C-alpha cells in the first residue's frame, strides 16, 4: 500500500478545507495534504455565476445525497446536494454571502462554544473578506474571499425593498454589518464576473507552495489510529488503496454529511449504532451525526404585468447571447447570481432577532432551473431560520461507498409549521404594497385562495424545499457535554490528534446562508491549530430591535 506522510492531512477541499490548506501551509513550516473525492472545477458551468443551478444538479459535481422519507412533508424525499469538486459546496452553491446574525454567535457561546461569540468571530470574517465596496468596522478589504453587490439594474430589486418599507420594515445599509434586521442589498462571492469559491480564493493560490499537495478523486474510507491517537487516513484512488499519515493531526473538513459518516466508520459515534454494524467502538460519542439542522424555504411567486423580468433572457438565443457576453467579457447577466436584494424579519413579537430570510429575484423559477414559469414573474425565496426540529446522519452500512441515511425531521415541531404560515402571510402582505402596483399580476404560488391554516399547511408540505444548509451534526460544546462531538478548539472528544472543521461543528444553524460562516470557522480554526493567539476581539456594537418583546416590526 502506497504511504506518504505529512504534518497535516485534511479531508475535504470545501469552504473550510480550502481555508485550512492555505493557512496551515502559509509559512512553509508544515507539510499539508488535502484529499478531495471530486475533481477539477474548470468548467464554465461552475465559474459563470448565472449558471449556478446547473453544476449543483450534475452527478459529476454533486454527491447526490437525498433524505429518508420525511413524514412532515407527506413522505417526500428531498435532495441534499453537496459539492463533489475542489471548493466543495462553495463551487456549486448560490454564491450568497450572509455571515449570520451577531446574536447567532453569542448563542453559540451559551451553547458551550466558548470563544466563538460575535466579538471573537467578527475579526475572522474581516480577515477572510475582500469587499469590493471597501472595508469598515464590520467588513474586510484585503482578504482572499472577494465579495460584492450586484448592480441591481432591474427595477424590481429596489421595488421589493420599497414595498417592505411601506409594510413597516426598516431598510438596512448592510445586512452583514451592524444591522441584519430589515431589507437591502445582498452580497455575493463573485470577483470580476467569476464565482469566487473557496478553491479560487484560497486553495489554488496556495497550491503554488511546495509544502501543499492536493489529491483529487480520493475516497477516504477510514481514519487510522494507534491507540487513541489519530495517525492518518486510508483512501482509495482509481481502485488502489493508499494511506496518508499525519505527524501532527488529521482534520476532517468533509462537511455535515461526510464528516459524521467518517467518524462513525472509524469507530467514533453512538456505540449502539456502531455495534449493530460490527464496527469496533473507539469512542462512544452519542452526538456524532445527531442535531442535524437545515433551512427550509418556498418560492412565493407573482406574475409581472410588465415585460421587464429575467424571463426575457430565458429563451435559447437570449441565453446564448448572455453566455457569449460572459465568455468574452465576464460581464452582463452571466456575471450575477441574481439574488441582489434580500430581507431579514421577525415572525412575531417576542422574537429577539430575525427568524425569517428573503432572497428576491426578478424571475419565477425553481432552484433546479427546471420549473421555469411560462410568463414574466418575480419571486421571493422565504423560510424560517431557526426551526426546532432536529435530524440525524446515520450509516447505511460499513461500506464507505454507500451514502449514509439522512433524516432532517422537517416540520417535526409544531412551532416550525406556525413559522411557515407566518412566512406565507407576511410575504403576501409585502407583495400587496403600493410599490408593486405597477407590476403585480396574479399570485402564481401559493395562489390567492391559499389563505386558511389548513390550505397553507398543505401547500407547504407539498412545495417546500431545502435551502441546502445542512449543519450542526458534529456540534461544538464543552468536553463534559455527552452530545458534544468537538470542544471549542475543534478537537474530537475521546481521541487525540483529530479535529473537525466545517459547518457540522456549528452548535446551531446561523441566520442565513452557510458559506460565509463556514469560511470563518476555517479561518479561526487555523489559528487554533497553529497555536497562534486569537485575533483581538471586536467591540463593534450590533442592532437589536428596541421593541422586540412587544412588536413584530
Bridge partners of 9?
33, 250
CA distance 77 to 141: 42
Contacts of 239 (CB under 8 A, 6+ apart): none
Measured N-to-C along each axis, helices 155-166 and 414-431 cross at an angle, to the nearest 10 degrees, of 110
Residue of 125, 131, 130, 135 whose CA lies nearest to 104: 125
Kindly list the domain boundaries of the chain, sorted by start residue: 1-143+195-291+469-530, 151-185+296-384+412-463
Query: Residue 372's pLDDT is what?
Result: 64
Query: Residue 209's pLDDT is what?
Result: 98
Q: β-strand 2-11 against 32-35: which pairing, if any?
A: parallel
A 10 A CB-CB count for 302 gives: 24
Cell numbers placing 441: 399580476
CA distance 148 to 195: 11
Are residues 214 and 207 in contact, defined by beta-carbon separation less than 8 angstroms? yes
Are residues 294 and 471 in contact, defined by beta-carbon separation less than 8 angstroms? yes
Query: Residue 365's pLDDT is what?
Result: 83
Query: Residue 367's pLDDT is what?
Result: 64
CA distance 310 to 376: 8
The answer to whether residue 217 is catalytic is no
Radius of gyration over every alpha carbon of the chain, rounded to an integer in angstroms: 23
The CATH class that applies to domain 1-143+195-291+469-530 reads alpha beta
Contacts of 541 (CB under 8 A, 6+ apart): 178
Q: Give the burial string for 127-162 (b: 16+ CB within 10 Å, else e).
A: bbbbbeeeeeebbbeebbbbbbbbebebebbbbbbb
Query: Residue 1's pLDDT is what?
Result: 84
Contacts of 178 (CB under 8 A, 6+ apart): 137, 138, 540, 541, 542, 543
Residue of 78, 52, 46, 55 whose CA lies nearest to 65: 78
Q: List the chain pLDDT tens, one digit each, 553 residues.
A: 899 999 999 999 999 999 999 999 999 999 999 999 999 999 999 999 999 999 999 999 999 999 999 999 999 999 999 999 999 999 999 999 999 999 999 999 999 999 999 999 999 999 999 999 999 999 999 999 999 999 999 999 999 999 999 999 999 999 999 999 999 999 999 999 999 999 999 999 999 999 999 999 999 999 999 999 999 999 999 999 999 999 999 999 999 999 999 999 999 999 999 999 999 999 999 999 999 999 999 999 999 999 999 999 988 999 999 999 999 999 999 999 999 999 999 999 999 999 999 999 999 987 665 666 678 999 999 999 999 999 999 999 999 999 999 999 999 999 999 999 999 999 999 999 999 999 999 999 999 999 999 999 999 999 999 999 999 999 999 999 999 999 999 999 999 999 999 999 999 999 999 999 999 999 999 999 999 999 999 999 999 999 999 999 9
Are residues 32 and 25 in contact, defined by beta-carbon separation less than 8 angstroms? yes
Annotated catalytic residue within 120, 295, 376, 469 = 469
Query: Residue 524's pLDDT is what?
Result: 98
1-143+195-291+469-530 and 151-185+296-384+412-463 have identical folds: no
CA distance 260 to 474: 7
Cα separation values, 84 from 13, 63, 88, 122, 259, Å: 9, 6, 6, 29, 14
Contacts 24+ apart (CB under 8 A), 396-403: 397/277, 398/265, 398/277, 398/278, 398/279, 400/219, 400/220, 400/221, 400/222, 400/236, 400/265, 401/219, 403/63, 403/64, 403/65
Contacts of 114 (CB under 8 A, 6+ apart): 478, 488
Contacts of 420 (CB under 8 A, 6+ apart): 296, 298, 383, 384, 411, 456, 457, 460, 464
For domain 151-185+296-384+412-463, give the fold.
Cholesterol Oxidase; domain 2 (3.30.410)
Are residues 56 and 38 in contact, defined by beta-carbon separation less than 8 angstroms? no
**Which H/E stretch holds residue 420?**
helix 414-431
Cα separation values, 496 from 115, 235, 256, 288, Å: 21, 20, 21, 16
Angle at 153 between CA 148 and CA 154, to 5 degrees: 125
Cα separation values, 243 from 68, 108, 233, Å: 33, 36, 6
Reading phi first (left if > 0) and then psi (alpha if -120 to 50, else beta), residue 185 is in: beta
Amino acid at each position: 500500500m502506497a504511504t506518504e506522510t505529512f504534518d497535516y492531512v485534511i479531508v475535504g477541499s470545501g469552504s473550510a478545507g480550502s481555508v485550512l490548506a492555505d493557512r496551515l501551509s502559509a509559512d512553509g513550516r508544515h507539510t499539508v495534504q488535502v484529499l478531495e473525492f471530486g475533481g477539477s472545477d474548470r468548467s464554465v458551468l461552475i465559474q459563470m455565476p448565472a449558471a449556478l443551478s446547473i453544476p449543483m444538479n450534475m452527478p459529476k459535481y454533486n454527491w447526490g445525497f437525498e433524505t429518508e422519507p420525511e413524514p412532515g412533508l407527506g413522505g417526500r424525499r428531498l435532495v441534499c446536494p453537496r459539492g463533489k469538486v475542489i471548493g466543495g459546496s462553495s463551487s456549486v452553491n448560490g454564491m450568497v454571502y450572509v455571515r449570520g446574525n451577531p446574536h447567532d454567535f453569542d448563542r453559540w457561546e451559551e451553547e458551550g462554544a466558548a470563544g466563538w461569540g460575535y466579538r471573537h468571530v467578527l475579526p475572522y470574517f474581516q480577515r477572510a473578506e475582500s469587499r469590493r465596496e471597501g472595508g469598515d468596522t464590520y467588513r474586510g478589504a484585503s482578504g482572499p474571499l472577494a465579495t460584492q453587490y450586484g448592480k441591481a439594474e432591474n427595477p424590481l430589486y429596489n421595488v421589493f425593498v420599497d414595498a417592505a418599507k411601506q409594510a413597516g420594515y426598516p431598510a438596512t445599509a448592510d445586512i452583514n454589518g451592524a444591522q441584519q434586521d430589515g431589507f437591502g442589498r445582498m452580497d455575493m462571492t463573485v470577483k470580476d464576473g467569476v464565482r469566487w469559491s473557496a478553491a479560487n480564493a484560497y486553495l489554488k493560490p496556495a497550491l503554488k507552495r511546495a509544502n501543499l499537495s492536493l489529491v483529487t478523486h480520493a475516497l477516504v474510507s477510514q481514519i487510522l489510529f494507534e491507540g487513541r491517537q489519530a495517525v492518518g487516513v486510508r483512501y482509495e484512488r482509481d481502485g488502489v488503496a493508499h494511506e496518508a499519515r499525519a505527524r501532527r493531526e488529521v482534520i476532517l473538513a468533509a462537511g455535515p454529511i461526510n464528516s459524521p459518516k467518517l467518524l462513525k466508520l472509524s469507530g467514533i459515534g453512538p456505540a449502539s449504532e456502531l455495534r449493530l454494524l460490527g464496527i469496533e467502538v473507539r469512542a462512544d460519542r452519542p452526538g456524532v451525526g445527531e442535531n442535524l439542522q437545515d433551512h427550509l424555504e418556498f418560492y412565493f411567486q407573482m406574475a409581472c404585468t410588465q415585460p421587464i423580468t429575467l424571463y426575457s433572457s430565458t429563451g435559447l438565443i437570449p441565453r446564448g447571447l448572455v453566455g457569449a457576453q460572459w465568455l468574452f467579457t465576464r460581464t452582463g447577466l452571466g456575471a450575477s447570481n441574481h439574488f441582489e436584494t434580500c430581507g431579514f424579519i421577525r415572525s412575531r413579537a417576542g422574537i429577539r432577532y430575525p427568524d425569517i430570510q428573503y432572497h428576491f429575484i426578478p424571475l419565477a423559477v425553481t432552484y433546479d432551473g427546471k420549473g421555469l414559469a411560462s410568463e414574466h414573474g418575480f419571486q421571493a425565496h422565504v423560510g424560517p431560520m431557526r426551526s426546532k426540529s432536529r435530524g440525524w446522519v446515520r450509516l447505511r452500512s460499513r461500506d464507505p461507498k454507500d451514502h449514509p441515511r439522512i433524516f432532517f425531521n422537517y416540520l417535526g415541531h409544531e412551532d416550525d409549521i406556525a413559522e411557515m404560515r407566518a412566512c406565507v402571510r407576511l410575504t403576501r402582505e409585502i407583495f400587496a404594497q403600493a410599490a408593486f402596483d405597477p407590476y403585480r399580476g396574479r399570485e402564481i404560488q401559493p395562489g390567492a385562495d391559499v389563505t386558511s391554516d389548513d390550505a397553507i399547511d398543505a401547500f407547504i408540505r407539498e412545495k417546500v424545499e431545502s435551502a441546502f444548509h445542512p449543519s450542526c451534526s458534529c456540534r461544538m460544546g464543552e468536553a463534559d457535554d455527552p452530545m458534544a462531538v468537538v470542544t471549542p478548539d475543534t478537537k474530537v472528544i475521546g481521541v487525540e490528534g483529530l479535529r473537525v472543521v466545517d459547518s457540522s461543528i456549528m452548535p446551531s444553524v446561523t441566520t442565513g446562508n452557510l458559506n460565509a460562516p463556514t469560511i470563518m470557522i476555517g479561518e479561526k480554526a487555523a489559528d487554533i491549530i497553529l497555536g497562534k493567539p486569537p485575533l483581538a476581539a471586536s467591540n463593534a456594537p450590533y442592532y437589536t430591535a428596541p421593541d422586540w418583546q412587544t412588536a413584530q416590526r
